[in-house]
């Protein structure tokens, strides 16, 4: 596929075009230049209280906001917060055929005009024009649903019971919501950065950066052509693709921030990079030793970070600014626990023993396994910790089996897995099942002892994509055949670090292409992430699929359980469907 074809393929696909279609009302309701208008700055305390009301449905007093839906059904504001429909950036959404308009101050307090009137009226019963709100009319529509143009909002919009003081706090926050462009946005350029730690090889670094830089070079070439006297064709193409003139004339840059030394110094290094080169968002990035300091830097500075490549993401239900490819090792631990629960619950009273190497990989696998068991109210497992350099001997294993009366062993290790499995296969009281991690084993996967394969189960977080077929754009795309259960190991897509780095970066270019087009000049960081949450699922040669949704922060959400057949040409056999965490 040509580079241009690669960039625009997903945008032109049926699902992506459908997303563009439903977002048309959001694309044409704002003037991007308004993002730089000066506004009065309310106190930080007032903004925090208003944010609490908007995002969580909590009054400044700490009590839940009271609301009514469907006319007279009382509900707590915590269950129907503003952010759930209008989204975090306040630029609105579409769900279930209901168009939720923007709530940011720059939209509310100026006249509303929608282009493409006929298309909008067909899909969304909303006026193509409305007068600007003021504090009085906005308070009225929040309380009663009565609009300034004389109609009533859809009854899916809650009516919030707010006292005057609380209403003033909320309106003050709405006036500040998506009101100023963040650092990294200038009149001519959108600045990005990619973070790489010094433990990453040059080959892997280059594989990750090449697709990003190629995409940026093409985008900037289009801008140059658009601005030239000979750029009529480019302008027509942009208009046909519904790309705003504002986006077509704005270039992109990509800085590379290299982190060195101990992790406890990374935050300081990042703050200095950011001081010198303010960026709008972080694209990709790689670290082999964890992402927590970078994750925290993104949270502290409210900087989106898109698909960083790390096996050790931060696991959080509340943090917002980093969107990971997956939960890494933690996700495999989750899958093993879910599979065990589904296949063994009520069938045995034997204990489960978890043997864990004292390593960052072992800790992540064990954490995902144990947390999932707790969430499902399962009894705790017996955990045996292996210190660095400690060997797994046959006697060690037999002692554990006899002492704990176990039929299931979870073996989170790579150093001694092959030796341990060989030992287990030769003892009389061997377990019925042993679980190991494909990610942890790496290229040792196909070396599993032949006589241990019948009782060894493998957590496998990768795709079973097998075939490349011509696409409509003249290149090739990976097609996953879910009906095929046997896949030759040699036919699987490469999961070597440089290959995975390249594939993930190519996915990022597709996401950013769609995201920037659908933002329509509303370059606010929360809106950037809101739009990503509405992008259709994306195919992935590395993972089974990457799926997105509002507030979701891990794009690949599952894992297979597989076994390896015996013989010199091993075949992976699916023992489960895609186990969703």
pLDDT in tens, 185-203: 999 999 999 999 999 999 9
Q: Is 60 in the same domain as 121? A: yes
Cα–Cα dist 57/66, whole Å: 9
Token pair 């992109």 in the structure block, residue? 252
- Statement: residue 290 has pLDDT above 60: yes
CB 354 within 8 A of CB 362: no
Q: Is 196 in the same domain as 168? A: no
Q: Is 45 in the same domain as 76? A: yes
Residue range 297-304: mean pLDDT, rounded:
98
Our CA dihedral for 297, 299, 305, 310, rounded to 10 degrees, sits at 70
Task: Report residue 32 as tokens.
Answer: 């991007």
Task: Report residue 366 as tokens.
Answer: 């064990």
- Statement: residue 123 has pLDDT above 60: no
Q: How far is CA 127 from CA 32, 122, 169, 467, 548, in A?
A: 21, 11, 28, 49, 30
Q: Is 529 in the same domain as 424? A: no
Give pLDDT, residue 18. 35
In a domain, 7, yes or no: no
Q: Is 400 in the same domain as 308? A: no
Give the 3-state DSSP-derived string for 275-298, with helices as H, strands as E and coil as C. Answer: HHCCCCEEECCECCCCCHHHHHHH
Residue range 50-62: mean pLDDT, rounded:
96
In a domain, 468, yes or no: no
Which domain covers residue 144, as residue numbers?
A: 40-176
Instruction: Please report how many Cα atoms fall inside a 13 Å half-sphere around the Cα of residue 8, on the Cβ side.
Output: 15
pLDDT band at 35 (very low <50, low <70, confident <90, very high): very low
- Average pLDDT over the chain reads 82
In a domain, 10, yes or no: no
Residue range 475-479: mean pLDDT, rounded:
33
- Statement: residue 469 has pLDDT above 60: no
Q: Is 60 in the same domain as 72? A: yes
Boundary-marking domain end, from 126, 144, 176: 176
Boundary-marking domain end, from 142, 176, 210: 176
Number of structural domains (the chain) is: 3
Question: Is the overall model pTM greater than 0.75, yes or no?
Answer: yes
Cα–Cα dist 414/392, whole Å: 11
Instruction: Please report how many Cα atoms fall inside a 13 Å half-sphere around the Cα of residue 511, on the Cβ side.
Output: 31
DSSP letter for 226, please.
H
- Burial track 319-354 (b if 16+ CB lie within 10 A, e otherwise): ebbbbbbbbbbbbbbbbbbbbbeeeeeeeeeeebbb
Residue range 160-167: mean pLDDT, rounded:
96
Task: Report residue 421 as tokens.
Answer: 């499995």
Cα–Cα dist 181/310, whole Å: 30
Residue range 321-343: mean pLDDT, rounded:
94
Give pLDDT, residue 235. 63
Q: Is 319 in the same domain as 341? A: no
Give pLDDT, residue 510. 92
Element (H, E) at 8: helix 3-12
Q: What residues have CB less than 8 Å from 391, skipping those under 6 apart?
A: 416, 419
Cα–Cα dist 288/388, whole Å: 19
Give pLDDT, residue 282. 98
Count the neighbouring beta carbons within 10 Å of the beta carbon of residue 479.
12
- Statement: residue 417 has pLDDT above 80: yes
Boundary-marking domain end, from 155, 176, 197: 176
Name the most confidently modeled range: 69-73, 396-400, 569-573. 396-400
In a domain, 216, yes or no: yes
In a domain, 127, yes or no: yes
In a domain, 307, yes or no: yes
Q: Is 245 in the same domain as 164? A: no
Cα–Cα dist 522/315, whole Å: 29
Q: What residues have CB less than 8 Å from 177, skipping those under 6 apart?
A: 54, 89, 90, 103, 104, 105
In a domain, 359, yes or no: yes
Helical spans, DSSP H, in 13-144: 14-22, 24-27, 44-56, 83-86, 105-108, 117-123, 135-144
How long is the chain? 581
In a domain, 489, yes or no: no
Q: Is 65 in the same domain as 124? A: yes
Q: Is 288 exposed, middle or buried (0-12, 13-18, 19+ CB in 10 A)?
A: middle
Query: Residues 208-252: pLDDT tens digits?
Result: 999 999 999 999 988 888 777 666 666 666 555 555 666 678 899
Q: Is 297 in the same domain as 345? A: no
Residue range 366-386: mean pLDDT, rounded:
94
CATH code: domain of residue 439: 3.40.50.2300
pLDDT band at 539 (very low <50, low <70, confident <90, very high): confident
Give pLDDT, residue 229. 65
Give pLDDT, residue 105. 84
Give pLDDT, residue 254. 98
Q: What residues have CB less than 8 Å from 57, skipping those under 6 apart?
A: 64, 65, 67, 76, 77, 78, 79, 80, 81, 82
- Statement: residue 260 has pLDDT above 80: yes
Q: Is 384 in the same domain as 446? A: yes
Query: In terms of Cα–Cα distance, which of 512, 434, 427, 500 is closest to 461?
Result: 500
Task: Report residue 452 as tokens.
Answer: 């241990």
Q: Is 293 in the same domain as 248? A: yes
């Amino acid at each position: 596929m040509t580079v241009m074809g690669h960039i625009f393929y997903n945008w032109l696909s049926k699902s992506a075009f459908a997303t563009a279609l439903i977002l048309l009302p959001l694309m044409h309701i704002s003037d991007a230049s308004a993002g730089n208008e000066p506004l009065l700055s309310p106190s930080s305390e007032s903004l925090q209280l208003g944010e609490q009301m908007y995002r969580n449905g909590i009054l400044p007093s700490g009590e839940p906001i009271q609301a009514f839906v469907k006319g007279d059904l009382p509900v707590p504001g915590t269950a129907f917060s503003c952010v759930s429909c209008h989204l975090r950036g306040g630029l609105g959404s579409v769900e279930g055929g209901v168009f939720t308009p923007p709530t940011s101050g720059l939209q509310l307090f100026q006249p509303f005009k929608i282009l493409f009137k006929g298309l909008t009226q067909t899909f969304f019963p909303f006026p193509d024009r409305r007068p600007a709100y003021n504090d009085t009319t906005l308070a009225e529509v929040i309380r009663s649903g009565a609009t300034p143009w004389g109609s009533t909002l859809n009854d899916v919009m809650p009516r919030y019971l707010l006292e005057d003081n609380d209403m003033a706090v909320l309106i003050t926050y709405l006036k500040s919501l998506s009101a100023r462009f963040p650092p990294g946005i200038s009149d001519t350029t959108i600045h990005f950065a990619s973070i790489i730690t010094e433990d990453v090889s040059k080959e892997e670094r280059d594989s990750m950066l090449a697709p990003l830089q190629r995409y940026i070079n093409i985008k900037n070439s289009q801008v140059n052509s658009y601005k030239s006297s000979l750029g009529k064709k480019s302008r027509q193409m942009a208009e046909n693709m519904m790309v705003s003139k504002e986006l077509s004339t704005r270039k992109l840059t990509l800085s590379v921030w290299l982190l060195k030394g101990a992790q406890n110094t990374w935050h300081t290094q990042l703050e200095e990079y950011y001081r010198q080169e303010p960026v709008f968002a972080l694209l990709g990035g790689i670290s082999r030793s964890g992402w927590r300091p970078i994750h925290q830097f993104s949270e502290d500075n409210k900087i989106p970070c898109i698909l960083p490549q790390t096996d050790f993401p931060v696991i959080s239900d509340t943090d917002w600014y980093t969107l990971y490819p997956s939960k890494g090792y933690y996700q495999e631990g989750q899958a093993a626990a879910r599979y065990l629960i589904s296949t063994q619950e009520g069938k045995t009273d034997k204990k489960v023993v978890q043997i864990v190497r004292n390593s960052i990989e072992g800790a992540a696998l064990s954490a995902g396994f144990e947390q999932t068991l707790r969430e499902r109210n399962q009894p705790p497992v017996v955990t045996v910790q292996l210190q660095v350099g400690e060997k797994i001997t046959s006697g060690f294993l037999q002692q554990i089996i006899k002492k704990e009366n176990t039929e299931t062993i979870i073996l989170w290790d790579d150093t001694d897995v092959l030796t341990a499995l060989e030992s287990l296969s030769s003892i009389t009281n061997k377990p019925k099942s042993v679980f190991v991690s494909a990610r942890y084993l790496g290229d040792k996967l196909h070396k599993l002892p032949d006589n241990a394969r019948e009782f060894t189960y493998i957590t496998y977080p990768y795709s079973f994509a097998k075939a490349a077929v011509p696409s409509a754009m003249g290149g090739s795309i990976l097609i996953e055949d879910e009906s095929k259960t046997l896949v030759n190991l040699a036919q699987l897509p490469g999961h070597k670090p440089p290959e995975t780095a390249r594939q993930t970066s190519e996915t990022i270019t597709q996401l950013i292409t769609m995201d920037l087009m659908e933002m329509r000049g509303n370059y606010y960081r929360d809106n950037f992430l809101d739009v990503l949450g509405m992008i259709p699922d994306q195919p992935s040669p590395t993972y089974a699929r990457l799926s997105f949704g509002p507030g979701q922060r891990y794009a690949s959400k599952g894992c297979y359980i597989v076994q390896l057949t015996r013989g010199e040409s091993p075949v992976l056999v699916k023992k489960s469907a895609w186990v969703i965490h």
